[in-house]
Structure 1
């Protein structure tokens, strides 16, 4: 995944939820944070000379946020300077030692362009007025400073003789920012309801770090942002050696898709002659198809056949899976006569495997959409092997309907024809979508299932749904051989197949009805 992007994955730069709408604050000068996708959430970045509060518990990433903003700012803006003021937090030497492993950290920028100073001695000895004098003197001496970070504001509130004195201090900080043309960030560990400064500052951002079940989840929420629109709600936060990366919710990133894709729609074949005939020559390009089936019914092989057929026609494909690593997938395809490996070597099919780790749902979707946007081409094919992987990565299961709707709509806009596999129970007398949200957002539904007859297991295939197209509603038996998937012209020897209770019909094969 590309870490250095400031916008949402592949999204055009826009300042409101609707493309072409400049939105509130569209003409005001901005200070870009350089923190991936935060500027997209803020519709362009922080307003210059504003004062912003960043709050959160210990470990939520406040110090990384402040330092990453400073180093990214001086990197992107030659001649700029930042001042980082600490108040009863970790020592500068320890802070720099911890930051040295981060990719954004640049020791050469210290102390000329990123200047660290402790404000606690002045606060302790001279009170709030002494700290203000130190800030004014530092900004005056270090001309050209356009970012000021004050880390540990709770120390100021604890030292303030009254709530009014603390509010006056914040008000003075605002005036200092405006007078010095300096954008100021105050970092605090206090909880939201005790933040007296929130009513005074221009924006309030909260970082959280909580356990949801066994998972530790970091999130960012913008509670207030004067002078501009912004993306509301919670957004995933990831911290690694790249620093902090924000993952805006997919359903709010792509809340205003175009009505249709721009490419002329065509039939996309699976390369299985009998099955392609059942669906009038293939699914329509730009559509989404659900492959439902129990484990082992052939969902993965059908998806790989779809990709290989497209690659043979010059249509690029992507496999995005959670269960089988690429070498095993190529071996599996080779055993049934599907030449996946050749197309992987040529680059016409890309295999992306997500190992069984704790993923983030929005991060997974961003990774895939970014990949597809890197080199836009018409009529590409995508096979997502296991929508359960996205569901398992979701911290909030009730997001799935909105997420899937926005995600599949975005894939359609990229003229990507998508197959998504979904697991069913091994044997069930009832047929229903295991997850209604998937059935609602796809155009086509294909069912693969087992049926037991005469002490043997048979595989059956049927098309349950195809929007915008005619299709054959009959049930077909299919087999998996060394030549791939072979679909029969019919399943004449059994009745009541969809009930899951197959029986031999009277008069067939000389047998009596069972």
Structure 2
């Protein structure tokens, strides 16, 4: 259709040969550039000291020769080759056996000092031809700029460099230090610019990468967080950009996913719809974690695999806690691999790295009808450098889980001492289909737990407020708690027909059984709603 409207030019463009790519091997950098660097092009890599320029350039070089290429690494006034290589030896990509035959290191500062840019250009030309380099890296371009009489002189040097490297088909990386607000003349002369940064967010050091310019191809714009580990440089593209255009389709044959708690399952008409996302809202101690574990264990009983993705409780402690509240089967299902406990140690995490870790593990398991419990949203929020991203981040993550037919529960804490039930982050209601509220209510100097369904898309549900209890037998949900007529305002009070204050107060349910109650008025039938 577009060919007919656009004429022959559009059709010819469809058949134009795609440019060859040089894969960097840097985790997710090729994803950001939508396929890798374009062969024969020249790229500038800018960044302050410590941002990862040299590590990333060497990582690209070692990966390139591993794929059969040949690389030439030219240093100007920088650390010695011996010191640089000793710092790289701890990286998993390092392979000393490829030096110097496939990966050749030379210093160009003496030629630069003696003969200026002309001498450096001649050295690089001769070495690139002799080594038959398909990748050329020049580290320390700030030293070369010092020998240029003007920006125009430096741009002419770059033009001559690109002329002969394009003839050889050599891809070029030019490394330069960079500070905020600094203008680099090479930025207008090269085919692409990658800017690395290193800054402090409170006590936390943050590394980021931005593809400022990338001729000949699209790229993922904006800031992407970077970490340096034994793998070298690892880039974490923003989750909301990674999954902006999901390719997979969600399943249409949806089923009900029950909690295994009769009173709760009845109120949601048999369970949550598969492929949906549910928020468990509640203050500390209301039972969010136990309810999530109930959901996973019930799934395992029905043959559905599960994942617990948590931040605050170690797997042994979680198993012990579950055994004490009527879920001894959790250990059995964990040992058999049906339920997987993924604990994130209390370290400085990267927000997008957490999402990648979760989604990649789900892909690796290759199972259907998976249940997921994220405990809690606060763990992701603490890893966010930019808190304003959280709405877009969770919207993208939830959509991706939905496309993978994962039925997800998120736990989210509300304030412990509050007179209301407002969500601490109202935007969360937009990216989940269902919201279940758990909270305490004080009545006659005693605390009770209440549960209510606040929202359910695409399904009928019982909107009544119900009391629930936690005992060594598990969670049990009782009938409608009629005396809490104002529960949603946080000010529960007895109705006019309720027993007087002179009557003895009833005791809260213990051990999963309801205590005897004084006569109560006929409970009002809860309304049934249908949300679309």
Q: Return the TM-score normalized by structure 1.
A: 0.93
Q: What corresponds to 1:309 in structure 2?
A: 298
Equivalent residues in 2 for 1:139-154, closer than 5 Å = 139-143=128-132, 145-154=133-142
User: For residues 369 and 252 of structure 2, what CA distance do their matches in structure 1 show?
Assistant: 8
Distance of 1:237 and 1:280 partners within structure 2: 45
- Tell me, in whole angstroms, the C-alpha distance in 1 between the residues paired with 2:497 and 2:15: 76
- How far apart are residue 453 of structure 1 and its match? 1.2
Task: Say which is worse superposed, 255-264 or 409-418, in terms of deviation.
Answer: 255-264
- In 1: Cα distance, 2:233 partner to 2:438 partner: 43
Moved more, 304-313 or 487-496: 487-496
Secondary structure of 2:217's match? Answer: coil
Q: Which residue of 2 aligns with 1:127?
A: 116
Q: Does 1:213 align with 2:202?
A: yes
SS of match in other structure, 1:462 = strand
Alignment of 1:333-412 (within 5 A): 333-338=322-327, 339-412=329-402
Q: Is the 8 Å Cα contact of residues 283 and 438 (structure 2) preserved in structure 1?
A: yes
Q: Deviation of residue 377 (structure 1)? A: 2.5
* Residue equivalent to 1:40: 31
- The 1-side partners of 2:460 and 2:276 are apart by 15
Matched, 1:181 2:172: no
Q: State whether structure 2 residue 441 is matched by structure 1 residue 428.
A: no
SS in structure 2 of the partner of residue 95 of structure 1: helix
Give the C-alpha shift of residue 105 in structure 1.
Answer: 0.5
Q: Rg bigger for which structure?
A: 2
Superposition pairs of residues 79-228 of structure 1, within 5 angstroms: 80-143=69-132, 145-191=133-179, 193-228=182-217
The answer (yes or no) to whether the contact 2:257–2:274 under 8 Å persists in 1 is yes
Count of matched residue positions in the alignment of Structure 1 and Structure 2: 490
RMSD: 1.8
Structure 1: distance between partners of 2:22 and 2:337: 40
**Alpha-carbon offset, residue 437 of structure 1:** 2.1
Aligned-residue offset at 1:498? 2.1
Mapped to 2, the partners of 1:388 and 1:210 lie a distance apart of: 24
Determine the structure 2 residue equivalent to 1:283: 272
CA contact (8 A) 1:154 1:190 kept: no
User: 1:430, CA displacement in angstroms?
Assistant: 1.7
Q: Select which of 225, 239, 249 maps to 1:250.
A: 239
Where relative contact order (Cα < 8 A, 6+ residues apart) is larger, the structure is: 1
Alpha-carbon distance between aligned partners in 1 of 2:340 and 2:248, rounded to the nearest angstrom: 28
Deviations 1:221-277 (A, max 9, x none): 001111101100000101011100000000011112358502511100000011000
> In 1, Cα distance between the equivalents of 2:385 and 2:318?
29
Find the residue that maps to 2:198 and give its secondary structure. strand
What is the deviation of 1:134? Answer: 0.4
After TM superposition, give the deviation of residue 429 of structure 1 in Å: 2.2
2:55 aligns with 64
Match of 1:4 in 2: none
- The answer to whether the 8 A contact 2:248-2:404 is kept is no
Q: Is the 8 A contact 1:427 1:450 kept in 2?
A: no
Given that 1:506 and 1:512 are in contact with CA atoms closer than 8 Å, whether structure 2 keeps it comes out as: no
- Residue 489 of structure 1: SS of its match in structure 2? strand
Q: Is the Cα–Cα contact under 8 Å of residues 344 and 350 in structure 1 kept in the other structure? A: yes
Does the C-alpha gap of structure 1 residues 411 and 23 become closer, same or farther in structure 2, counting only changes over 3 Å? Answer: farther
Q: Which runs of 5+ in 1 are unaligned?
A: 1-21
> In the aligned structure 1, how far is the partner of 2:208 from the partner of 2:485?
54
Query: CA–CA distance in 2 between the matches of 1:209 and 1:114?
Result: 28
1:499 alignment partner in structure 2: 489
> 1:479, 1:468 → 2: CA distance?
28
Task: Give 1:507 deviation, angstroms.
Answer: 4.2
1:486 pairs with one of 460, 476, 483: 476
